[in-house]
Structure 1
């Protein structure tokens, strides 16, 4: 069994602290676990750079897209119970997504063609539903998302889906991987399948059973002081840093990026994944479902853009490593990970029985620190 080198863990801590000292990030919490045992849990720097408050172990972070694996797990729990099947068309639950059109850009003009098939629940989970994200580019569909103010949190999930479904798809369903609003749609879909709002569903099926007591779509007023904050201005561009307001209770509970959480809470989720679906003697989901969830589901389906690193495919809510080489970071075949646009990231490496997480609030520095952290963690594996 692997061990962790204590001097390398000390270097990890010192390296993060040096970046904090140089005002690259305001503060961070780093977690490293081996064999299911947390070997490092470090709160560094400042929780709020405006007030100078130090980072606390129980700080609450906007985790954005680290919401996606939790919503994906809730979907698979419903599937285990017979509440839905991954082969079901999205339109079975959200009829507005039936018979969509696909935008084809030719010579500066946009032509619409019928979709060859409806997207499925499986497509939503693996981001092959033909949807996109408005911040990933400026093609015709992305411009429509932007014009429709698709990020507006004052819509209900049903209203969000009606706005989104009225716009054309960026690709034919099933033909390519494109990181997208798919998990937002998935959140709305499982609301229909389960007959309850997403927040209540997640609380009942995932957050409550796991004891994730500080994970929700808004921070209660008496806990606002625990929220980790970014710099007021980005250290590179000088632009104002704008992040989701966790104090506001949104009408739209975004399955793709709406949760706030703590290091302790998300560690419990990662422990569940590491354990193959059980935690502290309670089985929440089967081992085979976890194996299926964390396997590559793309195969020969190509990926659009550069978000999927070389040597990686995509499972049901996670990027999954398919090759020992190719990627610009170390790792093992079978490793899976995801991250959030606000500066949070995690990975699980079953081959080494290792998982790790870095939480910070630094949107424009997120990729650098995600990559740095992974290198520093693997440098500690003996």
Structure 2
């Protein structure tokens, strides 16, 4: 069997990605491979501490922050979020998923904190982006590939959201992404602090996640990778350079996908979850909260309705949960997620394993690219 470096290099050698960093940690044993370059020009080799746009593997971090507020007694899972997000006090719902935005009925129940954490608010998307209530989210709220400098500030963003109906009643099904954005706004409004400040104080600083933030300062730009998409005529096209959109703070810090980070930083977060919320002699989360985060909360029909996004997996708080060995790489109880910028990070409680792979190529859709699948197969077998 190929080792980790060979697994990643196979994709770099055929030109599908400029470079990647892979990490598999079991207890104190850590296997790391940094292959390829930070850009297609080969201006610098990829390093273990290279910084990536981690996109949606931001979601578990923000969900953990919400659970800290629950443990602080500042919010409860069954609280209606309208107390802090008054824009969602009286949402409307499209009569059918395909209905136009003015063909609506009232919501029959309030949106709760639990709905936000389990991505069951009624806002978001699964596989069909053409539905009017989904298309409105993509265009008005930039619910697509991350563009941190294009998204309006939270209050303006929430005002725009309030004009868009839910795709289904709160609690009636799983939809992707937007619930995590709302988690970030909720944290800021409950605490009275910007989301970046709260995450730094409660998660990044205690865990030593020194390179994780919503922006990359000038002194670290030499470690920041370029970001690419597949060009329609073949090859790769630059979507964002190291000194691009993440080189200055965004107006809207995205709780769904705005962070930059390194493999070792996310490893520190994953190990905290594996240690039932403890890290460095401190208890950041209770074991009960970690169990809630890493337990599937979806029914079988909800999982199936998730389509290509879930591929049969369940969903905890901020991340997917493998509930059966549906693929060679899946492990029941595995928790984590993927990022549309070519990133993936999971914990496997049964084996005490953290697996992380960071690349810099935009995913072409909700299905998982071969690089990720090959990495997962390696991590499952290693």
Q: Distance in 1 between matches of 2:191 and 2:137?
A: 28
Distance apart, 1:297 and its partner CA: 1.3
Q: Distance in 1 between matches of 2:211 and 2:180?
A: 22
Distance apart, 1:136 and its partner CA: 5.3
Say whether the 8 Å CA contact 2:230–2:362 is kept in structure 1. Answer: no
1:61 correspondence with 2:26? no
Say whether the 8 Å CA contact 2:334–2:347 is kept in structure 1. Answer: yes
Unpaired segments of 5 or more residues in structure 1? 1-7
With over 3 angstroms needed to count, the CA separation of the structure-2 counterparts of 1:313 and 1:77, relative to structure 1, is same
Say whether the 8 Å CA contact 2:53–2:261 is kept in structure 1. Answer: yes
Say whether the 8 Å CA contact 1:134–1:143 is kept in structure 2. Answer: no
Q: 1:5 corresponds to which residue?
A: none
1:205 correspondence with 2:197? no
Say whether the 8 Å CA contact 2:60–2:336 is kept in structure 1. Answer: no
Deviations 1:162-184 (A, max 9, x none): 11122111111111111131111
Q: Which region of structure 1 is more displaced relative to structure 2, 107-116 or 64-73? A: 107-116
* Match 2:186 to one of 185, 189, 199: 189
Q: 1:3 corresponds to which residue?
A: none
With over 3 angstroms needed to count, the CA separation of the structure-2 counterparts of 1:352 and 1:217, relative to structure 1, is same
Deviations 1:37-90 (A, max 9, x none): 242011111012234310012111000111111110011011101011111112
Q: 1:13 corresponds to which residue?
A: 5
With over 3 angstroms needed to count, the CA separation of the structure-2 counterparts of 1:52 and 1:21, relative to structure 1, is farther
Unpaired segments of 5 or more residues in structure 2? 144-148
Three-state SS of the structure 2 residue aligned to 1:347 is strand
CA RMSD of aligned residues (A): 2.2
Distance apart, 1:307 and its partner CA: 1.0
Say whether the 8 Å CA contact 2:331–2:380 is kept in structure 1. Answer: no
Q: 1:320 corresponds to which residue?
A: 321
Q: 1:75 corresponds to which residue?
A: 66
Q: 1:98 corresponds to which residue?
A: 89
Q: Distance in 2 between matches of 1:158 and 1:288?
A: 33
Three-state SS of the structure 2 residue aligned to 1:83 is coil
Three-state SS of the structure 1 residue aligned to 2:75 is coil
Say whether the 8 Å CA contact 2:124–2:177 is kept in structure 1. Answer: yes
Name the TM-score, length of structure 2 as normaliser: 0.90
With over 3 angstroms needed to count, the CA separation of the structure-2 counterparts of 1:108 and 1:193, relative to structure 1, is closer
Distance apart, 1:232 and its partner CA: 6.8
Deviations 1:126-172 (A, max 9, x none): 11000014995110112222342535645211221111122111111
Q: Which region of structure 1 is more displaced relative to structure 2, 271-280 or 210-219? A: 271-280
* Match 1:40 to one of 14, 21, 31: 31
With over 3 angstroms needed to count, the CA separation of the structure-2 counterparts of 1:102 and 1:128, relative to structure 1, is same
Matches within 5 A, 1:19-30: 19-30=11-22
Say whether the 8 Å CA contact 1:322–1:334 is kept in structure 2. Answer: yes
Q: Distance in 2 between matches of 1:48 and 1:106?
A: 41
With over 3 angstroms needed to count, the CA separation of the structure-2 counterparts of 1:157 and 1:107, relative to structure 1, is closer
Distance apart, 1:329 and its partner CA: 3.2
Q: 1:289 corresponds to which residue?
A: 289
Say whether the 8 Å CA contact 1:127–1:177 is kept in structure 2. Answer: yes
Deviations 1:221-242 (A, max 9, x none): 1211111123475488557342
Q: Distance in 2 between matches of 1:295 and 1:134?
A: 21
1:144 correspondence with 2:143? no
1:86 correspondence with 2:77? yes
